[in-house]
Structure formats: structure tokens, C-alpha cells
Structure 1
Amino acid sequence: MIEASTDSPAATSGASRRATLAIFALAIGGFAIGTGEFVSMGLLPNIADGVGISIPQGGHVISAYALGVMIGAPLIAAFGARLPRKRLLWWLMAAFVLGNLASALAPGYSSLLIARFLSGLPHGAFFGIGALVGASLVPPNRRAWAVSMMLTGLTVANVVGVPLTTLVGQRWGWRWPYGLVGVLGMLTLAAVLLWIPSRPAEQGLTMRTELSALRHRQVWLALLTGTVGFGGMFATYSYITPTMTSLAKVSPTAVTGLLAVYGLGMTVGVVLGGRLADRSLMPSLYGGLIGTAVVLFGFGYAVRTKPGAVLAVFVFGVAGSVLVPILQTRLMDVAREGQSLAAALNHSTLNLANALGAWIGGLVLDQGLGYEWPSRVGGVLALAGLAIALFSGRLDAVAARRAAVAAEQGWPHARFTPAGAGPAGGQE
């Protein structure tokens, strides 16, 4: 009896179908997490009224979630190094479900803060581990595509999930959206069980090997690129509502529609970023940061008319999101043995960029400058991120030349390897 070749069209088609379902399961999780993260912003007045606090105090509910993301991503990725990735993803989503159900049932402000903090803990680790799982299921030249497909769940949440749950919260109370996010998390649990392949834990991975990612200079440069470069986006996005009402002269109600346009731009940007990163990673990073700077410098001028505002907000969404799968893939490349930690840290970086951008944008406005100025300062931050990325690329080029010289001269162990060489790449 002749066994079917694993390279047969049928086997290849079956593997592709299983990979697609697994990535779809991860995207469902991204949709749940994205909805849970951003719905608090749309319901902030309702939440404040519901637990008897001021709106500024209500902002701490959002900050508590972001703090959970920043703390949870590196800790969980490091402590979970020895667990099979499917099991770890399931437990992360189970914790997310419990956090959101606790948010829905929170009797007061203090308990709500704790519940939102707990809800944020699994966020970064889920995306980081999910990125590694998705990338492992496809050929090397499609890794960034797999990462981008998982991230589309997060961007589609801004188009569909957040507006719908916001409407539910406005009509039936702020607790219901958190409950609905919990239901979305339960669907993700089922999808992970059914569609994520079971594989043993990676041999030799420990907390120590994960933490070894922090020894590599290129990991820190990639994280710094994201923090500074994305800081420019958040310097603008944090004040998007008053910018639109004061410069574009749109009503507060119409801003909701503009945010949906932004979500569409994010979805396009994530998909585009995945395709570009698979073709040429570092040039795509440079181009993405240049494009972001151009968009931010022109944003204050473009939004002075309603048609210009719609177009500017869409392009703004594209420009920022292009960078997400590119940086995620870059971190996976340069981390060597500590890929889980590095991939999870990307989402801690985004939340740090959020805090940095909002703070810098606020400083600009406190100086009495108009709402067109946060985006201009954001453009400067994008250029600073570009400078860091170019320095990182220069180090890659130096490492590649040294490796080539070592190979020519027959040295048995070349220390330097180009970071873009693959998952084992990196630089001391």
C-alpha cells in the first residue's frame, strides 16, 4: 500500500485550510479584545454615571486596562514559556472572559478598576503568542501576512464591535457591553479548542531563555522605534474628537462615523503592512514611518473641510496600522530564543506609545496652540522613530558584512548575523 505524499496537492490544501481556520480563531480573539479595550472610551460618561464618579475619574478605568496590558504582556510571556502555546492561548482568553464578566458585575468604582486591570493582563500576551502560532502555520514568506490576518480582528472591532456595543451600552446600560465581550471571548475559547493545532511545548524554552531577548540590542531598538513612532499617532488620536469638532466643524455625533472610517483605514493598513513586510521588512518599516510623518504633518490642514476630514482620517488609520505587523515581525526576527516575550512586548510598547503621545499632545495644547499642532508634533515623533529604525538597519548591514567576511575566511563560528535572516536572527 502506497501512502500519500505529504507534498501532494490534497495534503497541501488540507494544511492551508487548517492554518486558515487557526488564524481565523486568533482573529476572533482579536475582535473580542479590541471591542473590550475600546468600548470603555465610547461609554465613559455612562460608566461614570453608573458608578457615581466624575468623567476624569472614569478615565482611570481606561488607564487601568492599559496598565494591565503593559504589566501582563512580559510577565505572562516569560512565565508561560514552558506551556504548549494552544493551552496558554486558551487560558489567556479564559482570564479575559472572567475579567470582562467581573467588569459587568462590578458593584462600584474600586472593583471596576480591579476588573479592568485584570481584563488587560492577557491582552498583550494573547497577541504575542498568537502571532507566533500564526506565523508557525504558514511558509516563511507569509509570516507577516499571518500576523496581519490575526490583527484584522482588532481593527474590525473598531468598525463593527465598538459601535454596536456602544449603542447597546447607551440603550441598556454600560454593563451589557462587557457581558457581550465576555460572550465573544467564550466563542474564542471554542475556536481555539477546535482550530488551533495541538503541539508540544517548545523544547528548551524557559523563563530564562525568554528573558534572553532583552539582551539583544536590536530588540530594544525595535521597541523604541514603536514607542516613539507610534507616539506620534497617539498624540493625534487622543484628541481626535475635539480636533474634528473644532477644525472640521462636525458635530460630536458625526465623530462616531469618522471613527468608523478610521477603523476601516486600520483594517486596510494592517493587511497592507503584512504584505509589505513579507516582501521586504526593513524598507517597509522605513517607508511606513515616512508615510506616517507625511500624513501627520498634513493632517491639520486636511481636516479643515468635511470631505478632507473623511479622507484624512482614513489615511491616518492606514498609515499607523501598516506599522503594526511590520514591527511585530521585526521583533520575532531579532528576539532569537525569546520570541514570545518580544512579540508580547510589542503590545506593551503600543500602550506606552499611547501614554507618551497623549501626554505630549496635551503639553502642546496646554501651551495655547490649536488642535492642528498635536499632529505636527506627532510628525516629528514619526521622524524620530525613522532615525532609530535607520540606525537599527545600519547595525544589520554591519553584521551582515562581518558574517560575510567570516564565511570567506572560514571562521567556524561567526558571532554576527543579520537580524532579518529569520526567527533565529538578531544581533548582540
Structure 2
Amino acid sequence: MKKSLISLSLGGLTIGITEFVMMGILPDVASDLNVSIPIAGYLISAYALGVVIGAPLLVIGARNYPPKKTLLILAAMLAFFNSLSVIVPNYELFILTRLLSGLPHGAFFGVGAVVASRLADKGKEAQAISIMFAGLTIANLIGVPIGTYIGHHLSWRYTFILIGIFGILTFISLYFWMPNLSSNDRVSMKTQMQLFKKIEAWLVILITAIGVGGLFCWISYIAPLLTEISGFDAANVPYILILAGAGMVVGNIVGGKLADTFPPSTTLITLFLLMALDLAMVFFFSSNPYVSLFLVFSTGCISFTFIASIQMLMLQVAVGAEMIASAAIQASFNIGNALGAFLGGLPLIAGFSYASPNLIGIGMSLMGVLFTVLLVQRKKAALKLQTIKI
């Protein structure tokens, strides 16, 4: 495996812990800062908002810089802003540092996805991108459980010290292992922004933000789901999250191969239906601890098979504007993060059980099917029109 791809994967690891560890330590943060769990859930939404803001702005600002320099700056931001979370004195300032921590997320993956595809062997572009995103899965397999354990048994602030260290390691690996690629952005920003005039691009954004957002209805409240519904002791949650991480590792590997083998739209429709079915099982059967353990693995697995197919789908739509398109996907993914955490929290605020957010997730997954079908129909209509003209 190329060291340059490993450095991108390490960045994905740092980002993955940053994004997903909050789900594991949410009860600890809520207790320490004296807020309810649904209110603490807005910390997840704040991070997602930071991604949405930072993804397009930082990609646009970095368009004239070499990819390596851009990635180094983004890695430095990851380390610095996460380190600020160690010293926040209250909930309000924690909201701010979480937002700042999200700023480099989308731009890192946006630039990284284009760089990974340039470094890949021909015909293996999706698999190269999946190597970068493998960092996210490793984060959920190892980093998030460790961060959750630290947050529960010591202090959630120590968890953010760990994230800061990984941010520094990402910077170092990029400095030594990433080649000095030339900027591949020869298209003006005005031309690139034409991407957002394409209905197909907006459909991919909706597929990501709404469809994949169903995942976050589940994972945002996974800790109280496991303790209040499945009956596990809070001390066991970090170990159970390893199952989710293992599922994500498997899903990411399978997803990369699927994206290089089958049409992305066919893969996505199948996966959204499987996700809806899986979330329904989570709602009905999480009270059984043994079934709950299986569902933690299966839901994690299905959720990460989406990534490569969605990335490739957007790159197909965005010829000539790949970097801004890739960043837009990350922004969309985190709109889904924010929506899942927010909408999933509404039934909790209304007094329903910690299994109820999964019902919202089912609806969002089925909306993903609808938007994917609309995209397929639009592509078929455009191809038919092109054939008639010829």
C-alpha cells in the first residue's frame, strides 16, 4: 500500500474519532456540563454545521495551492481546534469549538478524494478512495471505543487530547509521505460553481444528506439505546462500539469493491432498502441484548458501504469540478449528521423511548431510495434525448 494513501487514511482516522466519539461520550458530557442528553446532542449538530460551512469555503480558498500544502494546513486545523475542546469551561463554548473542529473535515476529504484518485492505479480509483475512508472505519473500530472508555472512566476532556495527538501525527505523515502533486484545478471557480446548476448534482446531495442521514438517527443516540433499551451497563458501551467499528471496516471494504464493479445507483438503492430494514429491526428487537449486539455490527456494516458509491456517483456528475463536488459530498454527509441528530432527538424530547429515533431513520433511508430512483430516471431521459439527437 502506498504511504501517501496511508497518510490520508490517518487523517480519516483523526476525523473519524472527532466526529463519532461524541456519540459514545454523550451521556458523560451531558452530565459534566449539566445539560440533558438531547441538548448535548446539539454538539453533534454543531460539528456537522462546521463541516457544511468549511467544506466549500476552504476548498474554494485552497484552489490555487498544491494539494500537499492544503492538506497540511487542514491537518494543523484538526489538531488545534480539537485541542481547544480540552479547556472549554461550559456548554456554550464547547458548541463553538465543535463547530470549529468541523471546518477542516469536508475540505480534507474533498481534496483527499481527488488526490487518492490521482494516486490510484487505473481502474482502482474507488478502492483508493476507500483506503482514505478506511481511517473512518478504523476510528470506529479502535479510536472511538478507546475515546469512549477514556471519557467514561477518566474524563471526556482527555479524549480530545488523544484526538489532538492524532492530528499532529497526521500532519507529520503528510509532510513526509505525501508527494508534491501539482494543482489539478485549472477550471475557474465560476465554471466549477456551474455544478450546482445541475439537477443531478442536487439529487446526489439529497441522496447523501437525507438518505445517509438515517444512519445518524441511530448512532447519535447509540449509548443511551444500549443502556436504557438493551440493558447493558454503561461501562460495557466502549466494548460494544468495537462491534460497530468492525462492521464499518467490513462495509468500507465491500463498498469500495461494489463501487468498482456495479453501477453506483443500483448499489445505493439496495443499500438504502437494507438500511431501512436494519433500522426497523433495531427499533423492534433492541430490547434483546443478543440481537442488539448483532444489529450494532450489521448497522455499522451497511452504513459504511455507501461511501465509495456516493463519491463515485458525484464524481461522474461533476466532471471538471471534482474537488468542489467531493467537498460538497462531505458537507451533505454532515447535513445528514445534523439532521439525524436533530430529528432523531425530537421523539426523545417528546418523551418516547431511545429506540424511537430509528423510526425517523427508516423514513430518511426510504427517501434515499426515492432520490436515487429519480436520479436514474433523469439519467435515462438524458441518454434517450442524446440518442435521438444523434
On whether the aligned pair clears a TM of 0.5, the verdict is yes
Deviation digits for residues 288-332 of structure 1, max 9, x if unmatched?
112112212222233232221111111111111111221122112
Choose the corresponding residue for 1:167, options 149, 154, 157.
149
2:241 — aligned with what?
A: 259
Of 123, 135, 145, 1:141 maps to 123
> What corresponds to 2:379 in structure 1?
396
199 and 120 in structure 1: CA distance in 2 versus 1, 3 angstrom threshold: same
Query: 1:204-249: per-residue Cα shift (whole Å, max 9, x none)?
Result: 2333233222122111000101122123222232332333334433
2:252 matched to which residue of 1?
A: 270
Alpha-carbon deviation of 1:170?
4.6
* Pair 178,255 (structure 1): closer, same or farther in 2 beyond 3 Å: closer
Distance 1:318 1:362 in 2: 23
Structure 1: distance between partners of 2:82 and 2:354: 34
The residue number in structure 2 matching 1:125 is 107
Deviation at 1:89, TM superposition (A): 0.9
| Structure 1 range deviating more: 97-106 or 224-233 | 97-106
Distance change >3 Å, CA 277–CA 384, structure 1 → 2: same
Q: CA deviation at 1:125?
A: 0.8
Change (3 A) 1:204 1:267: same
Which of 323, 327, 335 lines up with 1:340 in the alignment? 323
Q: In structure 1, what is the equivalent of residue 35 of structure 2?
A: 54
Q: 2:174 aligns with which of 192, 195, 198?
A: 192
The amino acid that maps onto 1:79 is G
State how far apart, in whole Å, the 2-side matches of 1:33 and 1:279 are: 28
How far off its partner does 1:185 sit? 1.3
**Which has the higher mean CA deviation after the structures are superposed, 376-385 or 109-118?**
109-118
Partners of 2:202 and 2:79 lie apart in 1 by 32
1:297 paired to 2:287: no
Q: Deviations over 1:236-283 (max 9, x none)?
A: 323323333344332333333322211111111111111101111221
Q: How many angstroms apart in 1 are the aligned matches of 2:175 and 2:281?
A: 46
CA distance in 2, matches of 1:372, 1:227: 22
Query: Structure 1 stretch 260-269 or stretch 248-257: which is displaced more?
Result: 248-257
Query: 1:228–1:382: 8 Å Cα contact kept in structure 2?
Result: yes
**Deviation of residue 196 (structure 1)?**
1.8
- Partner of 1:156, secondary structure, is helix
Shift in Å, 1:364: 3.8
- For structure 1, which segment, 38-47 or 290-299, has the greater mean C-alpha deviation from structure 2 after superposition? 38-47
Aligned with residue 215 of structure 1, among 197, 205, 210: 197
Aligned counterparts of 2:324 and 2:146: Cα–Cα separation in 1: 33
Question: Would the alpha carbon gap of residues 113 and 376 (structure 1) be closer, same or farther in structure 2, given more than 3 Å must change?
Answer: closer
The answer on whether the counterparts of 1:103 and 1:116 sit within 8 Å (CA) in structure 2 is yes
What residue is the counterpart of 1:101 in the other structure?
83
2:64 aligned with 1:79: no
Contact conserved, 1:213 with 1:339, CA < 8 A, in 2? no
Deviates more, 1:368-377 or 1:307-316: 368-377
Matched, 1:329 2:312: yes
Residues 1:170 and 1:304: Cα distance change in structure 2 (over 3 Å): closer
Cα separation, partners in 2 of 1:365 and 1:101, compared to 1, 3 Å: closer
Give secondary structure in 2 for the equivalent of 1:82.
coil
CA distance in 1 between partners of 2:352 and 2:24 (Å): 26
User: What is the distance in 2 between the residues matched to 1:128 and 1:235?
Assistant: 24
Supply the distance in 2 between the matched residues of 1:376 and 1:107 (Cα, whole angstroms): 35
Output one character per residue of 1:151-202: Cα deviation in whole Å (capped at 9) or x when no partner. Answer: 1111211221122233334555443332222221121112112222212112
Query: In structure 1, what is the Cα distance between the partners aligned to 2:266 and 2:121?
Result: 21
Deviation at 1:28, TM superposition (A): 0.5
Cα distance in 1 between the residues matched to 2:349 and 2:91 = 29
Cα pair 1:297 1:376 within 8 Å, conserved: yes
Q: Does 2:343 correspond to 1:360?
A: yes
Q: TM-score, normalised by structure 1?
A: 0.83
Instruction: Map Cα deviations across residues 65-102 of structure 1 (whole Å, 9 max, x no partner).
Output: 22211110111112222221121111111111121223
Relative distance call for 1:23 and 1:45 in structure 2 (3 A) is: same
The reply to whether residue 351 of structure 1 matches residue 334 of structure 2 is yes
2:296 paired residue number: 313
Measure, in 2, the Cα distance between the counterparts of 1:221 and 1:230: 13
How many residue pairs get aligned? The number is 388
Partner Cα separation in structure 2 for residue 334 and residue 149 of structure 1: 22
1:253 alignment partner AA: A
TM-score of the two chains, using structure 2 as the length reference = 0.90
Q: Which amino acid aligns with 2:340?
A: G
Structure 1 residue ranges (4+ consecutive) displaced by more than 6 angstroms after TM superposition: none
| Cα RMSD after superposing both structures | 2.5
Answer whether contact 2:41 2:342 (CA < 8 A) is retained.
no
Which residue in the other structure is 2:370 paired with? 387
Alignment match, 1:65: 47
Max radius of gyration: which structure?
A: 1
Q: Which amino acid is the alignment partner of residue 171 of structure 2?
A: L
Distance 1:394 1:184 in 2: 44
The Cα shift of 1:46 comes to: 5.2
Cα displacement (A) at 1:106 = 4.1
Residue 381 of structure 1 deviates from its aligned partner by 2.2
Change (3 A) 1:319 1:45: closer
Q: Give yes or no for contact 1:69–1:122 (8 Å, CA) kept in 2.
A: yes
Alpha carbons of structure 1 residues 316 and 44: separation in structure 2 relative to 1, 3 Å:
closer
AA aligned to 1:311 is: F
8 Å contact from structure 1 (residues 293, 379) kept in 2? yes
SS of the equivalent of 1:104 reads: coil
Q: 1:339 to 1:235 in 2, by over 3 A?
A: same
- Bigger relative contact order, structure 1 or 2 (CA pairs below 8 A, ≥6 apart): 2
CA contact (8 A) 1:213 1:337 kept: no
Are 1:250 and 2:250 matched, yes or no?
Answer: no
Preserved contact between residue 55 and residue 327 of structure 2 (Cα < 8 Å): yes
